[in-house]
């Protein structure tokens, strides 16, 4: 069983503040690390797919970094807005294209 852990499980952020959270995954047999954004009553939508150690991706105010040697990725939200409230999922891609998800970090941005 692949261990993909996300922390914290949930966090509250004041509107305008920046925040970040972690995904940890096995450092061996790595193919890719995915980040998804999952709004209530919708289905998960892809944010980033990262494959190389040291990768940094950015989409608007959201960015992510990747360290495959130590097995972690950070997701950053700069200047949080209420519309950023969602659950953020990471998924570890291993051999055979198997994708294992973490438990998610639920972000609530307070106006």
Indicate whether 93 belongs to the interface with other proteins (CB under 8 A). yes
Rounded to whole angstroms, the Cα distance separating 103 from 78 reads 22
Indicate whether 97 belongs to the interface with other proteins (CB under 8 A). yes
Q: Which stretch, 18-26, 66-74, 76-84, 99-107, contacts other proteins (CB under 8 A)?
A: 99-107
Q: What is the DSSP pairing of strand 10-14 with strand 105-110? A: parallel
Report the nearest approach of other proteins to the CB of residue 46 (Å): 3
Rounded to whole angstroms, the Cα distance separating 44 from 87 reads 9
Rounded to whole angstroms, the Cα distance separating 65 from 76 reads 9
Q: Which residues, other chains included, contact 83 with Cβ-Cβ below 8 Å and sequence gap of 6+?
A: 109
Indicate whether 28 belongs to the interface with other proteins (CB under 8 A). no
Q: And the tokens for 108?
A: 């609530």
- Residue of 84, 104, 106, 107 that binds other proteins (CB under 8 A): 104
Binding mask 37-76 toward other proteins (x if CB under 8 A, else -) reads -----xxxxx--x-x-------------------------
CB 103 within 8 A of CB 88: no
What residues make contact with other proteins under the rule CB under 8 A?
Answer: 31-32, 34, 36, 42-46, 49, 51, 89, 91, 93, 96-104
């Amino acid at each position: 069983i692949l261990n993909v852990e996300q922390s914290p499980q949930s966090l509250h952020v004041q509107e305008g503040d920046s925040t970040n959270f972690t995904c940890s995954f096995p450092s061996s047999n790595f193919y890719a690390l995915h980040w998804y954004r999952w709004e209530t009553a919708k289905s998960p939508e892809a944010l980033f797919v990262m494959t190389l150690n040291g990768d940094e991706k950015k989409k608007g105010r959201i960015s992510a970094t990747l360290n495959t040697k130590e097995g972690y990725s950070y997701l950053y939200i700069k200047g949080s807005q209420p519309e950023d409230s969602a659950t953020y999922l990471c998924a570890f891609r291993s051999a055979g294209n198997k994708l294992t998800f973490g438990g998610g970090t639920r972000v609530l941005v307070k106006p």
